[in-house]
Amino acid sequence: MEKLKIIFEDNHIIVVEKPVNIPSQADKTGDIDMLTIIKEYLKEKYSKPGNVYLGLVHRLDRPVGGVMVFAKTSKAASRLSNQVREKQFEKTYLAIVNGKMEQEAGTLEDYMYKDERNNMSKVVPEGTKNSKLAVLDYEVLKYSEELNLSVLKINLHTGRHHQIRVQLSSRNHSIYGDQKYGGRGHGKQIVLWAYELKFYHPITNEKLVFKSIPSKIGSWKILENCI
**Using an 8 Å Cβ cutoff, are 64 and 113 in contact?**
no
Which secondary structure element, helix H or strand E, spans residue 80, and what is its range? helix 74-85
Residue 189 per-residue DSSP state: P
- State the distance between the two ends of the chain, measured CA to CA, in whole angstroms: 31
Q: Note the pLDDT of residue 2.
A: 61
Distance CA 179, CA 167 (A): 15
* pLDDT tens track for 194-217: 999 999 999 999 999 999 999 988
What residues act catalytically?
61
**Using an 8 Å Cβ cutoff, are 223 and 100 in contact?**
no
Q: Note the pLDDT of residue 212.
A: 96
pTM over 0.75? The answer is yes
Q: Note the pLDDT of residue 225.
A: 81
Beta strands in 19-101 (DSSP E): 55-56, 65-71, 90-98
10-residue mean pLDDT profile of the chain (227 residues): values are: 87 97 90 94 89 94 95 97 94 96 97 94 96 97 94 94 96 93 78 97 98 91 85
Q: Report all structural domains of the chain as residue ranges with CATH numbers, in order of start.
A: 5-223 (3.30.2350.10)
Beta strands in the chain (DSSP E): 5-9, 13-18, 55-56, 65-71, 90-98, 105-115, 120-124, 132-144, 149-156, 192-200, 207-211
Q: Note the pLDDT of residue 186.
A: 64
Q: Note the pLDDT of residue 42.
A: 95
* pLDDT tens track for 115-142: 999 999 999 999 999 999 999 999 999 9
- Mean pLDDT over all residues of the chain? 93
Q: Note the pLDDT of residue 172.
A: 94
- Helix, strand, or coil (residue 88): coil
Q: Note the pLDDT of residue 70.
A: 98
For residue 14, which amino acid is it?
I
